[in-house]
Structure 1
Amino acid sequence: MTLSLALCLDAPMQSWGIRSRFTIRETTTEPTKSGIVGLLGAALGIPRDDSKRLSRIAEFRMGVRVDREGILERDFHTAQNVPTTAGTGHRTVVSERYYLADALFLVVLQGADASLLSEAADAIQRPHWPLCFGREAFLPARPLIGNGRDSHLRSGAGLQEKPLETILEEHWWLETRAFVHRRELTAIDKGDVGTLRTMVECPPSTVGSESRRDHPISFSRGDRRFITRTVLSGHVPLTKELISAGEPRVLEQTDR
């Protein structure tokens, strides 16, 4: 049995850094493996220095579908009274911080450890620690996993007995804005079928793949370590079926 976990990542702001150092904190254009492992670790209540338990999460294969490309934004943070490297005084440091505005992602995790996937799915809905997308202030705008009854709050489908690639192709579109639905349906009627960008973990020998140094080995303070994994960029068609399945349902009287 192939078991996968489908999550919705929707927030006004998200940040997924790989090479953030010193005064420049960048972000990638989709969630990183280290960021998702940290997210699930927070949900499960795993301390950052428990590398053994976090490594079990990191073994899950990960795929991302970009349901709405984010807008890259930058702001500046000022920190005062920062000790100098020589230890002779203090200084003011200005850092540049990049983030994605209005991004929307479908994240799918697949693995052989069905019990841990099930435990993670439960924890996501009742997290031990608050969940955030890259920074503590970047909170989810809607549940990561939807409630079957609350289908007007379209979110991730949760646990699915399907391979990762199948879910990326078949999961309902997470976009909830009605005018965007109408725009894409009109485009399809005119023969202009849109696509959704994907980024899927793959073997290193896969043709066209690229490396990402975001597979976490340790999150411990002073000992943050990562190794390289391989991902393949692709696309899936945005069909009428994906759009209609994701259309928010109007609340009926019995649901109020």
Structure 2
Amino acid sequence: MPTLLMCIDAPMQSWGVRSHFASRDTATEPTKSGIVGLLAAALGIPQNADEEIHHLASLRMGVRVDREGVLENDFHTVQNVPNTEGKNHRTAVTKRFYLADALFLVALESEDRHLLHQLLTALHQPHWPLYFGRKAFPPARPIPTQGLPSEHQSVTAQSLDHALRTHPWLENQPRVKNRPHTTGENASPDWLRTVVDADPFALDVELRHDFPLSFNPQQRSYASRAVQTGHVPLTPEMISSSTA
């Protein structure tokens, strides 16, 4: 089954899952709702187009963490915040979390190759600006993977699981990329964490409440999805064929 591959790289990213009022959290990897929102912006799908949003959310998604981010937080001042009756406006301080220096490979699998190519074209020429959770967090490099051997292009014939195991490492920081990773035949390899959509009846799954049902500002709603967390080895082949 063909797979669309995306590079999610930025100095700062925010993938909220349980944000409420004065505290805005972030997951430690891209959420389903965050990636669907990114694709919807690229295609120009409005927030109230629930059927189209659900169609994008039905794509099977997997994330490989090529560089774990550092959880940071800052404070924002919000003015003219009303009380529950819409009166007594005040100034509020909100605490917002984000990931710094994180890097992800995101894979989307579908039988509909035409849709994947449509998404690829939209990511190259997005209808609306793209950002990772906040408008101040734009991509650091093109989202479609590029500059790689033909079998690892942005839309590949490989399955999602195979792509996560074999796709070249996206790391491009020399201080990280050039350090020794494996030495000798018996050395233990480095491992990259993965989070993949899974059968809800499978063993060792957990629920993530980030499957978007509607992005309508008046009635945002989400459902839970089952994911399986695992690890794939960072092989010498993945390092030697990684991007510059």
Q: State the TM-score, normalized to the length of structure 1.
A: 0.90
Aligned residue in 2 for 1:209: 205
1:206 deviates by: 1.3
Aligned residue in 2 for 1:102: 101
Higher mean alpha-carbon deviation, 39-48 vs 114-123, is at 114-123
Task: Supply the distance in 1 between the matched residues of 2:174 and 2:89 (Cα, whole angstroms).
Answer: 52
Q: One-letter code of the match for 1:236?
A: V
Alignment partner of 2:236 out of 237, 240, 245:
240
Aligned residue in 1 for 2:76: 77
Alignment partner of 1:163 out of 154, 159, 162:
159
Contact 1:184–1:194 under 8 Å retained in 2:
no
Matched, 1:25 2:24: yes
1:223–1:191 CA distance, 2 compared to 1 (3 A): same
1:86 deviates by: 2.6
Aligned residue in 2 for 1:251: none
Aligned residue in 1 for 2:56: 57
1:147 deviates by: 4.1
Aligned residue in 1 for 2:132: 133
Task: Supply the distance in 2 between the matched residues of 1:91 and 1:37 (Cα, whole angstroms).
Answer: 34
Q: One-letter code of the match for 2:83?
A: T
Matched, 1:188 2:183: yes
Q: CA RMSD in A?
A: 1.4
Contact 1:66–1:197 under 8 Å retained in 2:
yes
1:165–1:147 CA distance, 2 compared to 1 (3 A): closer
Matched, 1:219 2:215: yes
Task: Supply the distance in 2 between the matched residues of 1:88 and 1:129 (Cα, whole angstroms).
Answer: 35
Contact 2:209–2:222 under 8 Å retained in 1:
yes
Q: State the TM-score, normalized to the length of structure 2.
A: 0.94
Task: Supply the distance in 2 between the matched residues of 1:209 and 1:146 (Cα, whole angstroms).
Answer: 28
1:72 deviates by: 0.1
1:247 deviates by: 4.5
1:113 deviates by: 2.1
1:206–1:33 CA distance, 2 compared to 1 (3 A): same
1:106–1:146 CA distance, 2 compared to 1 (3 A): closer
Aligned residue in 1 for 2:112: 113
Task: Supply the distance in 2 between the matched residues of 1:195 and 1:215 (Cα, whole angstroms).
Answer: 27
Task: Supply the distance in 2 between the matched residues of 1:167 and 1:243 (Cα, whole angstroms).
Answer: 14
Contact 2:144–2:154 under 8 Å retained in 1:
yes
Identity, % of aligned positions: 50
Q: One-letter code of the match for 1:193?
A: P
Q: In the comparison of the two structures, how many residue pairs are matched?
A: 240
1:188 deviates by: 3.4
Q: One-letter code of the match for 2:79?
A: Q
Task: Supply the distance in 2 between the matched residues of 1:204 and 1:231 (Cα, whole angstroms).
Answer: 8
- Give structure 1 regions of 4+ aligned residues with deviation exceeding 4 angstroms: none
1:76–1:230 CA distance, 2 compared to 1 (3 A): same
1:180 deviates by: 1.6
Task: Supply the distance in 2 between the matched residues of 1:157 and 1:31 (Cα, whole angstroms).
Answer: 21
Encode CA deviations 1:155-189: one digit per residue, 9 max, x unaligned. Answer: x831000110000001000001223222134x434
Contact 2:29–2:63 under 8 Å retained in 1:
yes
Task: Supply the distance in 1 between the matched residues of 2:135 and 2:50 (Cα, whole angstroms).
Answer: 21
**Unaligned ranges ≥5, structure 1:** 249-256
**Unaligned ranges ≥5, structure 2:** none
Matched, 1:93 2:92: yes
